Amino acid sequence: MVKAKEKKFLIIIFLISLIIRIGFILTLDNSVDVWGDWWDELGWKIASGKGYWVNNPYFPDGPKFYAWRSPGFPIFLAIIYKIFGHKFLFAKIGLAILSSLTAILLFFLSKILFNEKLGFLSSFIYSIYPISIFWTGYLAPETLVAFLIILSVLLLLIGEKKGNEIKFLSLGCLIFGYLCITRPTFIIIIPFILLIFLLKYKKKILKKLFLMLIFSFLFPLLWGIRNYKVLNYFIITSTEGGIVFFIANNEYSLQTPSGFYHAENIEEFKGLNEVEIDKLLYKKTFTFVKENPKLYIKLVIDRFIRYWRFYPHTISGPGQSYKKFHQIISFICETPIIILGFLGIFKTFNNFSNWILIHTILFLYSGITILIRSAIRYRFPIMPFLIILSCYYLLNTRYGRKYI
């Protein structure tokens, strides 16, 4: 039940969030897509009925690639394009709405985890959080991924609070499954989520776990069936994983400011389809890791530092390099959130079972990303969790209890 003052607060927060984000978007050139990373192309092809494919990224005259990207974000774009036409501005406004809704979801998630005061504070901070504002201006999946994570966890915790009510647990797993076809890394986390519920409720939840498993894998299975029909291979992720893993884990990766190097020999790809190329690159990368364990450890350490640094490298950025003021703003807002967020993790150990789902997703997603390939933008989708944890820490200090 939402109280009157909570409802008023949430309306204000949503409007503030939306106005700030749309205001930022209007400062950009919305006649072009500076990201240029296949997302928009795939979204428009779905909306215009042209299918789901991209031109061969290695050989321009080679066979098309039909599973190069996971479809979650292109489907989101396709819905907007179907309604409003191929207009980048409307796609970005769609992201602004999702980001503003995420601020609202943070209130309810924080309230379940602790109390409404934590909800007010977390929601407000996310509404003005510069990084969340920034990513609404670019056609990249980060904003959607953050929204899906928070929504799925919120639904799972509501279901648990209501005595493991299956409709909320199933819907939470369904949303998490859609998250998996948006950012495939999360597929690895599904068994751990189910294990948490099994350990907490044992035999009482066995039948419900079976339904949760089905709903978790529904979207990945549908995507896999589609790929089997098109490619004769059952793929529930994408055929881009091999190249992503390979360029971040070869003998030259550590020598570049970006942390990855395109060392692939495309001559090896001739006569191979996209699935065979993907498998070849995975095989080459695992061979490299096996034969160069010390170098791989150095790469992982380097990625850990990149992932948790307080500001981005200037060499990266959507469309162009990040500017100095991007780094300054990032340092000012990320530093306290990350430091206080990790202090908040230690604070929650007193009530660990209540927070275990948050911790599991936070650490597993971060760890898997760092083992494969990391960039500072990959951290953004889990930052809402760290905002909640940093606020939780503040509220549980002597000064926080007195003044906040």
Give the residue carrying structure tokens 């690895």: 188
pLDDT band at 3 (very low <50, low <70, confident <90, very high): confident
pTM for the full predicted model: 0.96
What value does the mean pLDDT of the chain take?
A: 95
pLDDT, residue 35, reads 85
Q: Is the pLDDT of residue 402 over 80?
A: no
pLDDT reading at 327 higher than 90: yes
Residue 282: the pLDDT is 97
Structure tokens, 292: 């160069």
Q: What is the pLDDT of residues 25-83, one digit of tens each?
A: 999 999 999 988 899 999 999 999 999 999 999 998 999 999 999 999 999 999 999 99
Q: What is the pLDDT of residues 152-170, one digit of tens each?
A: 999 999 999 999 999 999 9
pLDDT at 241: 96
Using CA atoms in the order 139, 141, 146, 151, what is the torsion angle rounded to 10 degrees? Answer: 110
List, for residues 262-271, the tens digit of each pLDDT value. 999 999 999 9
Among residues 361, 395, 40, 355, which one has the least CA distance to residue 189? 361
Compute the distance between CA of residue 139 and CA of residue 44 in angstroms, rounded to an integer: 12
Query: Tens digits of per-residue pLDDT, 360-389?
Result: 999 999 999 999 998 899 999 999 999 999
- Position 404 scores a pLDDT of 72
